[in-house]
Amino acid sequence: MEKHHVVTMLSEQEIDARIRELGMEISRDYAGKSIHLICILKGSVYFTCELAKRITIPVTMDFMQCSSYGAATKSSGVVRLDKDLDEPITDRHVLIIEDIIDSGRTLNHLKKLLSQRNPASLKICTLLDKPDRRVVDVDVEYVGFQIEDKFVVGYGLDYDQQYRNLPYIGVVEFE
C-alpha cells in the first residue's frame, strides 16, 4: 500500500449537525407517512444509523450492496449488485441512503432497478456529493455536503477497507 495520511475535511461536530438538519427536513417532507430507508452497504451504514435516529416519523430499513470500486480509488464504471433487498418495496415511500455520490453510475443503476418495483415514491439522500465527478445525471433530493474532487475516508467511507471507523471525514493525501 502507498504511503499516505488523512487530513480532516469535515469534523464529527459538523457532520452531526448536518445529519440533524437532514433528519428534520426528511421528517417534515414525509409528515404523516412512514419511510423505508435503503442503506447501500457498506459505506452508508454509519450515516444511515445516525440519520434514522433523527427522523421522527416511522422508519423501516433494508440493505443493498453494490460495487464499482474494488480496491481502487476511482470507480470502475461497472455496477454489480452483490446483495438485494430482503423485503418488497411496492407502495412504500423509499429513500435510498448513500455515503457518497461520485460518477452517479451506481445510483442511476439502483434508481432504475428500484423504480421497476413500484414504490409509492423513490428519493435519494447522500452524505457527500461530488458533482465535479458526475458522469451520469442523478437527481439527489437530500445532500449532506457538496465536496470537491478529493478521495475521502471516514464515517463509513474506506480506502481498501480501512478508515471506515473514523468519526470524521478526511482527505487521503498520498506521499
Residues carrying an active site annotation: 102
Please tell me the distance from the alpha carbon of residue 130 to that of residue 152, in angstroms, as a whole number. Answer: 11
Across-strand partners of 154? Answer: 157
Instruction: Round the CA-based radius of gyration of the chain to a whole number and report it.
Output: 16
Cβ(91)–Cβ(120) below 8 Å: yes
Query: Residue 61: CB partners within 8 Å, gap ≥ 6?
Result: 36, 37, 38, 39, 48, 52
